[in-house]
Amino acid sequence: MEISTHISSDKSEVTISVSASFDIHVFQEFSRVYKEVNQPGAKYIIDMAKTEFIDSSGLGMLLLMRERLGGSDTDISIVNCRPEIKRTLESVNLHRFVQIE
């Protein structure tokens, strides 16, 4: 499984971990996960510690997730990025829409 999820006991944080490549091949699974665990007011954390690659479809999935979960009212953080992935996220100004740590 390339996508895994953890919900904190108080349901205030939802962590979605992406393994290997964040690309079109995980679109359905990634979309299903955040739709199923939709917790209004929760902080969503995308953990990329095991993510080796992200392409334009991965970037699009992050923006689509933000839109579908409430747009600017949604608290999303991307954590544990490899330096090259962080550069990619910042180069497309994703940090304007989600927090990148």
For 58-78, write each residue's pLDDT tens digit: 999 999 999 999 898 899 999
Exposed / middle / buried, residue 75 (Cβ in 10 Å: 0-12, 13-18, 19+) = middle
List of the chain residues with pLDDT < 50: none
Predicted pLDDT of residue 58: 95
Give me the pLDDT at residue 1, please: 63
DSSP the chain: --EEEEE-TTSSEEEEEE-EEESGGGHHHHHHHHHHT--TTPEEEEE-TTEEEE-HHHHHHHHHHHHHTTGGG-EEEEES--HHHHHHHHHTTGGGTSEE-
- Domains, the chain, ordered by start: 3-100 (3.30.750.24)
Q: What pLDDT does residue 35 have? A: 87
Angle at 4 between CA 66 and CA 57, to 5 degrees: 45
What local confidence, expressed as pLDDT, does residue 26 receive?
A: 94
